[in-house]
Chain A
């Protein structure tokens, strides 16, 4: 309503300036992404040329010093650990957000919120260290060696939970007041208001938060590197160690030369494509929901 006052017939100089700067910033971001793609392709090209795309899938294992370059176990590990974390963190995050927003007394909700914000600000290497000295030995008591897919999932869950919660909460806050007020006037219970009115309305916002976090889970490096064991293999259970694409890049990059180094850039490209595919899928599904 207030906005309509600004958008009058002739836009002011200020508006034009803002518009221009926003436009150029957006363009800059576009160029940046394009630049990253080009860089990865250029740096990774020697690997594609020397190894061949097929070898990345058909080689017997990943031993670059012996010219074996199979990356599929690492792609699988990356997807598995991220999917596990998102599946655990999403319901937890939404429940936490609902609790803070609608059930907790104001004071407790405020303290809770501060805690969650604090949790979001902890650097990933701290989570990794905690995982390595506390979580991994705990899991090792259940099943050796402790460094495992499970440890990675749990660490990632803790890491992405705060943002899932905060984004869900802001999505809940944006549900128009009159919707809930009408529902209250109709005498609906709190839970049925949440379930049938608030959650469906806030769904696109919550979904956006989840997708944002899937991207983060896919890209998380340090913590995963410290708790996952980093053995290149397909896990047969959650207790098996795995190596993700990011962990592999971080482990090898400083020490790799030649084709080995180029193959790491190729893996970076792969990771970028996975994230891109995810974002496109998410956009598609949210559009689908919007029309329904």
Chain B
């Protein structure tokens, strides 16, 4: 290796470096040419919509956007994730045309304009081998605050509970805490996860774990034979059907956020996203479509 290298440099060092510079110049010219072509190729009348925010909504909005683009060839839509907080922050800073938030707008966000496009619920999941089928409000609180640490206490098997929670700042955690009137420091988790899929994989791999995740994602994975199951909340089964009927207490609206009442292309997109044309997409992503 080293002999090969030094001989090359020795015999042709001058020409090699000369060629190297030449090639470099050619490459730079090529790059410049390609980038020029790309800018000129973009049609001058094309407008771009930037949508950022919740990773829960993003896959759905991406597909809605694809369908919308097919109908409106003059509009290009760029969907970026980063969480509900980013969606709100980007709208505030004017970095995005539409923000995505997988929750209701808060009191301090009253100045913004939100449009609900679908609903989602949060359900508790356990491993499929866990004999438990439901948990009531009180037991959930006591499990998550570390007061109950064995499944035996809630009529389960004699095994320690692995409590899985979400990292701070996530909309799912906020909704969970809000519903159970808890603060995040009261929760005593053994595992902290990022997104829903990680939670589902953690529970699937641990027969004694419990986690709260998006019901849509959990139903989808359970249907794909991932060994998890959703626990009923008291007497109410955790299912999209219950969320749709408005009976499930832990549900949340998936919201598109704009700074002001939407106008122009933004309004056209939001109208499309709330129309019946995209109900098949909403169902495909295991969310609950608006009115029916």
Q: In the complex, what distance in Å separates the CA atom of A254 from the CA atom of B56?
A: 13
Stretch of B38-46, B68-76, B82-90, B137-145 at the chain-chain interface: B82-90
**8 Å CB interface, B177-192 against A:** 183-185, 189-192
On whether the beta carbons of B160 and A144 are closer than 8 Å, the reply is yes
On whether the beta carbons of B17 and A145 are closer than 8 Å, the reply is no
Stretch of A60-68, A152-160, A182-190, A204-212 at the chain-chain interface: A60-68
On whether the beta carbons of B183 and A66 are closer than 8 Å, the reply is yes
On whether the beta carbons of B191 and A145 are closer than 8 Å, the reply is yes
On whether the beta carbons of A241 and B168 are closer than 8 Å, the reply is no
Which residues of the partner chain B approach A5 to less than 8 Å between Cβ atoms?
Answer: 10
Give the nearest-CB partner of B209 in chain A.
Answer: A145
Q: In the complex, what distance in Å separates the CA atom of A72 from the CA atom of B278?
A: 49
Give the nearest-CB partner of B208 in chain A.
Answer: A144
**8 Å CB interface, A211-248 against B:** 225-226, 229-232, 241, 243
On whether the beta carbons of A14 and B13 are closer than 8 Å, the reply is yes
Which residues of the partner chain B approach A136 to less than 8 Å between Cβ atoms?
Answer: 202, 205-206
Give the nearest-CB partner of B185 in chain A.
Answer: A63
A33 interface residue per 8 A CB criterion: no
Contact A260-B205, Cβ < 8 Å, known A231-B190, A254-B81? no
Residues of A contacting B: mostly: helix
Query: Within the complex, what minimum Cβ distance (angstroms) separates A73 from chain B?
Result: 13
Q: In the complex, what distance in Å separates the CA atom of A136 from the CA atom of B14?
A: 57
Q: In the complex, what distance in Å separates the CA atom of A2 from the CA atom of B12?
A: 13
On whether the beta carbons of B205 and A14 are closer than 8 Å, the reply is no
Which residues of the partner chain A approach B205 to less than 8 Å between Cβ atoms?
Answer: 132-133, 136-137, 140, 146
Q: In the complex, what distance in Å separates the CA atom of A129 from the CA atom of B208?
A: 20
Contact A63-B184, Cβ < 8 Å, known A144-B160, A146-B206, A252-B169? yes
**8 Å CB interface, B182-221 against A:** 183-185, 189-194, 198, 201-202, 204-206, 208-209
A255 interface residue per 8 A CB criterion: yes
B: number of interface residues (CB 8 Å): 42
On whether the beta carbons of A64 and B169 are closer than 8 Å, the reply is yes
Which residues of the partner chain A approach B191 to less than 8 Å between Cβ atoms?
Answer: 145, 147, 229-231, 241
Interface string of A113-155 (1 = CB under 8 A from B): 0000000000000000100110011001000111100000000
On whether the beta carbons of A251 and B17 are closer than 8 Å, the reply is no
Which residues of the partner chain A approach B170 to less than 8 Å between Cβ atoms?
Answer: 255
Q: In the complex, what distance in Å separates the CA atom of A132 from the CA atom of B7?
A: 49
Q: In the complex, what distance in Å separates the CA atom of A14 from the CA atom of B162?
A: 65
Query: Within the complex, what minimum Cβ distance (angstroms) separates B68 from chain A?
Result: 25
A194 interface residue per 8 A CB criterion: no
A285 interface residue per 8 A CB criterion: no
**8 Å CB interface, B1-33 against A:** 6-7, 9-10, 13-14, 16-18, 21
Query: Within the complex, what minimum Cβ distance (angstroms) separates A66 from chain B?
Result: 6
**8 Å CB interface, B144-177 against A:** 160, 162, 167-171
Other 5 A-B pairs with CB < 8 A, given A65-B168, A129-B201: A145-B190, A145-B191, A147-B202, A232-B192, A255-B83
- Could you pull out 30 A-B pairs where Cβ atoms are within 8 angstroms? A13-B14, A14-B14, A14-B17, A15-B13, A63-B185, A64-B168, A65-B184, A132-B205, A133-B201, A133-B205, A136-B202, A136-B205, A140-B205, A145-B190, A145-B191, A145-B206, A229-B191, A231-B192, A232-B192, A241-B192, A251-B194, A252-B169, A254-B55, A254-B81, A254-B86, A255-B82, A255-B85, A255-B169, A255-B171, A256-B85
- B-side interface residues toward A, CB under 8 Å? 6-7, 9-10, 13-14, 16-18, 21, 55, 81-86, 89, 160, 162, 167-171, 183-185, 189-194, 198, 201-202, 204-206, 208-209
